[in-house]
Amino acid sequence: MKVEKLIEKLLSVPTPSEMDYRDIKIILEHEGWRLDRVTKHYIFTNNGGTIVLPIHKGVIKRVYLKKEIIDKLNLEEKYGKK
């Protein structure tokens, strides 16, 4: 799936209840983030910033999609979704 389609899915209303980790990784890498390390959580970094994602059975839950990805990356503003 193209990154634009993944971002569109992420920004859909209502926010998906969960998304596959691999899809989120594609979005984060597209936005310049890289996987730094894996502990109990997957930790992505970018120029001093940090995104911490708990992954359960290969998916990321809605609360983390909104708090850690949509808001921190300003995706709604960047891609014209309100």
Amino acid in the structure at residue 44: F
DSSP state of 16: P
Give the per-residue pLDDT at 48: 84
Give the per-residue pLDDT at 81: 64
Give the per-residue pLDDT at 1: 65
Give the per-residue pLDDT at 13: 87
Q: How many CB atoms lie within 10 A of CB 64?
A: 21
SS3 content of the chain, % helix, strand, coil (to 5): 40, 25, 35
Number of domains in the chain: 1
pLDDT tens profile 59-72: 999 999 999 999 99
pLDDT tens profile 1-34: 699 999 999 999 888 999 999 999 999 999 999 9
What pairs with residue 46 in β-bridges?
A: 49
Give the global pTM: 0.90
- Residue 72 sits in a domain whose CATH number is 3.30.920.30
